[in-house]
Chains A and B, each alone.
Chain A
């Protein structure tokens, strides 16, 4: 009984931690845009993700972490890929995202349907238990 209660508590803790990560990202992106460091305003949100990228900790229908350019200078394809690669190169962030249930990283431009996506499990270097 107790372990079920602990599991439920952990589940709610995970949800809160997921939204905290999103809020921190969006706040940092906003501050960066306002201060003029970033020419484009970025926003992160939760999406369905790609079901083919799922792993042992994927959240059902909420496994996508989408970074979208909201306004400012439109992003080229190489810039989209560069944003994704910066996130993936940050091993701590990638591991944290996996442990919080994300399985797909998506980066979208503010114009059209241009975008890129990656399977997070391929960049975490945690071990073979994710498959």
Chain B
């Protein structure tokens, strides 16, 4: 019994070492698989970008113009807050039916179309209101 004791311990140690090596191999294997997946993903992205670069110059220019365009946020806020009421007022007072069989009927029709087209643009509606005062002699109080 005593003679076999050291051998048994050695066997345990060897087994322990082997199991450590197995774990490390499996970790490296997983790292390699993940790296491979990342490389494949990057290759796929490059291929996709190459396809995307074939897009026409006109579209790219269109996009660049959109990026560089200026938006007046003050006008946007005015439109959010005031366009609805102003549109209601204008559409009520400048309706073409109010000018039927008069010399202003055509002007009223044209103006009403413009009002309907710009119903959520406060700045344009304000301009149209001035036009209504001048051309149709509408009284806004």
Question: Which of B67, B80, B82, B83 contacts A99 (CB under 8 A)?
Answer: B67
| Shortest Cβ gap from A31 to chain B (Å) | 7
Q: Which chain B residue shows the least CB distance to A3?
A: B53
A93 within 8 A of B: yes
Main secondary structure on A side of the interface with B: helix
Contact A37-B81, Cβ < 8 Å, known A86-B76, A129-B55: yes
Q: Which residues of A contact B8 (CB under 8 A)?
A: none
Which range contains the number of B residues in contact with the other chain? 20 to 34
Stretch of A21-29, A45-53, A110-118 that contacts chain B: A21-29
Are the CB atoms of A86 and B74 closer together than 8 Å? no
Are the CB atoms of B66 and A83 closer together than 8 Å? no
Are the CB atoms of A95 and B69 closer together than 8 Å? yes
Beta-carbon contacts under 8 Å, A73-131 to B: 82-83, 85-87, 89-90, 92-93, 95-96, 98-100, 126-127, 129
Main secondary structure on B side of the interface with A: helix
B73 within 8 A of A: yes
Are the CB atoms of A24 and B67 closer together than 8 Å? no
Contact A37-B82, Cβ < 8 Å, known A90-B71, A99-B66: yes
Are the CB atoms of A28 and B76 closer together than 8 Å? yes
- Cα A100 to Cα B82 with chains together (Å): 28
Are the CB atoms of A83 and B80 closer together than 8 Å? yes
Beta-carbon contacts under 8 Å, B71-102 to A: 71, 73-74, 76-84
- Cα A27 to Cα B74 with chains together (Å): 9
B2 within 8 A of A: no
Are the CB atoms of A37 and B66 closer together than 8 Å? no
Question: Which of B52, B71, B78, B121 contacts A96 (CB under 8 A)?
Answer: B71
Q: Which residues of B contact A38 (CB under 8 A)?
A: 77, 80-81
A32 within 8 A of B: yes
Are the CB atoms of B78 and A37 closer together than 8 Å? yes
Question: Which of B59, B69, B120 contacts A129 (CB under 8 A)?
Answer: B59
B63 within 8 A of A: yes
Residues in chain B within 8 A of chain A (CB atoms): 52, 55, 59, 62-64, 66-67, 69, 71, 73-74, 76-84, 120-121
Show 12 A/B contacts (Cβ-Cβ < 8 Å), sorted by A: A24-B71, A37-B77, A82-B120, A83-B80, A85-B120, A86-B80, A87-B76, A92-B69, A92-B71, A96-B67, A126-B66, A129-B55
